[in-house]
């Protein structure tokens, strides 16, 4: 096929191999998210158009088919608006790549790119309060290698607010367990950041490393010595949340995920008076607006802010004196009641 008439398959390959990985250097998680969204769209096209995936063409990627796919996500798959928007963002990114290499269909691609995101309610981030985190961290036993690993994992996630991928990719060389206590986290887009460690976290990490073999690279490993997986972390967190609910009723009907521990870390920093710009750098947020979401979530901080405003406005509470009616007023009223002729009507 001539260079003037590109086909779908080479552009799909160049999008994932060159555009996402080489040009933008996105994480594996982002690549998987884009792959899943575009794969779902292509599977929908095969059913919608009645032809095999091998026969799909660039002409099929149209405004109408994308809209039908988005309706399918919400109506048939039960996806929430937020998930629908994530799928659409992946398609937009892919179509922008097509536009750069296929100008002949510019108007077709422009109509796809004009499809707007759907407004979705912004839910406040869920998090655990300090006393709830203390209960969770107290669950793992410390007399076994597996219990020590689980305790260290809980402390590490809460201490650093690390994303799942960041925690699982930590190597022994990333740790600095002599003062200053810190760890190097490898974040999104190849951006590294240094995060301080509590003494308790550093002690747990040191104990965990002493139990590990000398050639171990990954800090958090499974029972077979391989790197701990996302499913493994999910199993660990679910197990200790279930154990913690026996003594803490507020934890019932709650979910415990690494991202909730990240939210809990951010909220604890905010409650301690740490500025949003510091929290942004601590968590590796791209914008301070992302960190600002936590301001809308904490009722205790809102209550303290209201109390501070109340005092600065001079509206401090004063002891209330009970009202006691004057005997002269009562005498006047009694006289009016007893002598109707004295009443005056306008």
DSSP string, 108-171: HHHHHHTPPPPP---PPPP---HHHHHHHHTSS-SSSHHHHHHHHHHHHHHHH---HHHHHT-B
Choose between 2 and 66: higher pLDDT: 66
Please, is 37 exposed, middle or buried when counting C-beta atoms within 10 Å of its C-beta (0-12, 13-18, 19+)?
buried
CATH 1.10.150 domain span(s) along the chain: 8-113
**Residue 55 designated active-site:** no
CATH 1.10.443.10 domain span(s) along the chain: 130-302
Fold of 130-302: hpI Integrase; Chain A (1.10.443)
Please, is 316 exposed, middle or buried when counting C-beta atoms within 10 Å of its C-beta (0-12, 13-18, 19+)?
exposed
Is 20:31 a contact under the CB 8 Å cutoff? yes
Catalytic residue from among 92, 176, 188, 239: 188
**Residue 262 designated active-site:** yes
Catalytic residue from among 87, 149, 186, 262: 262
In three-state form (DSSP H/G/I as H, E/B as E, the rest C), the secondary structure along 165-206 is HHHHCCEHHHEECCCCCEEEEECHHHCEEEEECCHHHHHHHH
For 105, residues 6+ apart whose C-beta sits below 8 A from its C-beta are: 58, 59, 98, 99
Question: Class assignment of domain 8-113?
Answer: mainly alpha
Single out the residue of 173, 155, 157 nearest to residue 165, CA to CA: 157
Compute the mean pLDDT over every residue in the chain, rounded to the nearest whole number.
86
Q: At what angle do helices 258-271 and 299-312 cross, to 10 degrees?
A: 10
- On the question of pLDDT at 54 being above 60, the answer is yes
Choose between 300 and 76: higher pLDDT: 76
Single out the residue of 87, 101, 12, 8 nearest to residue 49, CA to CA: 8
Mean pLDDT value across residues 246-268: 89
Residue 255 C-beta-side C-alpha neighbours within 13 Å: 8
Residues 150-173: pLDDT tens digits?
999 999 999 999 999 999 999 999
Of the listed ranges 38-47, 57-66, 187-196, 297-306, the least confidently predicted one is 297-306
pLDDT for 313 equals 64
Distance CA 284, CA 297 (A): 20
**Residue 163 designated active-site:** yes
Of the listed ranges 5-19, 159-173, 286-300, the least confidently predicted one is 286-300
Mean pLDDT value across residues 20-24: 79
Please, is 292 exposed, middle or buried when counting C-beta atoms within 10 Å of its C-beta (0-12, 13-18, 19+)?
middle
- Which tokens sit at 147? 């219990």
State the DSSP code for 63: H
Peptide bond into 180 cis (omega under 30): yes
State the DSSP code for 277: H
Mean pLDDT value across residues 252-265: 91
Is 186:166 a contact under the CB 8 Å cutoff? yes
The SS3 call for residue 297 is: coil
The pTM for the full model equals 0.69
Is 67:116 a contact under the CB 8 Å cutoff? no
Is 298:165 a contact under the CB 8 Å cutoff? no
- Which tokens sit at 172? 């022994």
pLDDT for 273 equals 82
**263-290: buried (b, 16+ CB within 10 Å) or exposed (e) per residue?**
bbbbbbbbeeeeebeebbebbbbeeeee
Percent of the chain with pLDDT over 70: 82
**Residue 263 designated active-site:** no
Percent of the chain with pLDDT over 90: 58
- On the question of pLDDT at 8 being above 90, the answer is yes
Catalytic residue from among 19, 163, 186, 221: 163
């Amino acid at each position: 096929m001539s260079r003037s008439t590109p086909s779908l398959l080479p552009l799909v390959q160049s999008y994932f191999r060159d555009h996402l990985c080489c040009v933008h250097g996105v994480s594996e998680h982002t690549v998987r998210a884009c792959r899943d969204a575009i794969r779902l769209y292509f599977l929908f096209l095969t059913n919608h158009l009645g032809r095999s995936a091998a026969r799909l063409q660039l002409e099929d990627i149209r405004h109408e088919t994308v809209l039908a796919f988005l309706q399918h996500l919400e109506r048939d798959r039960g996806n929430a608006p937020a998930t629908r928007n994530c799928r659409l963002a992946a398609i937009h990114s892919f179509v922008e790549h097509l536009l750069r290499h296929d100008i002949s269909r510019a108007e077709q691609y422009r109509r796809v790119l004009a499809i707007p995101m759907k407004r979705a309610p912004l839910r406040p981030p869920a998090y655990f309060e300090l006393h709830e985190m203390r209960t969770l961290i107290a669950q793992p036993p410390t007399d076994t290698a597996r219990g020590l690993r689980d305790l260290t994992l809980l402390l590490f996630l809460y201490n650093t607010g690390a994303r799942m991928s960041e925690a699982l990719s930590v190597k022994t060389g990333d740790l600095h367990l002599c003062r200053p206590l810190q760890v190097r986290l490898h974040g999104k887009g190849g951006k590294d950041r240094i995060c301080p460690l509590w003494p308790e976290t550093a002690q747990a990490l040191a104990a965990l490393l002493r139990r590990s073999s000398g050639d171990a690279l990954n800090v958090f490993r499974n029972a077979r010595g391989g790197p701990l997986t996302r499913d493994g972390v999910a199993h660990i967190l679910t197990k200790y949340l279930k154990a913690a609910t026996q003594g803490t009723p507020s934890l019932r009907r709650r979910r415990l995920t690494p991202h909730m521990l990240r939210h809990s870390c951010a909220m604890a920093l905010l409650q301690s008076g740490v500025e949003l710009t510091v929290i942004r750098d601590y968590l590796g947020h791209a914008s301070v607006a992302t960190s600002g979401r936590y301001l809308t979530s904490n009722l205790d901080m809102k209550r303290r802010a209201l109390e501070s405003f109340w005092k600065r406005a001079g509206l401090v509470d004063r002891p209330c004196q009970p009202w006691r009616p004057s005997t002269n007023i009562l005498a006047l009223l009694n006289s009016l009641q007893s002598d109707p002729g004295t009443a005056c009507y306008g």
